[in-house]
Amino acid sequence: YTPEVLLRGWLAEVAYWNPVTHVLEFARQATVSGIAPGLEHTVPGLLALAGLIAVLGVLVLLGLRRTGR
């Protein structure tokens, strides 16, 4: 994974809209020195996690319904 600040062109645009990018930036602020913890990475990271959990949870429930469980 390359930090978003190092990406250029269309790849930077794709990374911005990818929810995993925000989750990784959220995790990176706690583990990489030089990145100050703050709401700038925390809020988007938590929102991305909540969105991923909601979408994947629905897909799991639909899959379980299809198999009859």
pLDDT of residue 40: 81
**Cα–Cα distance between 11 and 33 in angstroms, integer?**
25
Name every residue whose Cβ is closer than 8 Å to that of residue 18 and which is 6 or more positions away in sequence.
none
% of the chain exceeding 90 in pLDDT: 43
Instruction: List pLDDT tens digits, range 7-64.
Output: 899 999 998 899 998 888 888 887 876 777 778 878 998 999 999 999 999 999 999 9
| Mean of per-residue pLDDT scores for the chain | 87
Higher pLDDT, 61 or 69: 61
Domain map (residue ranges) of the chain: 4-67
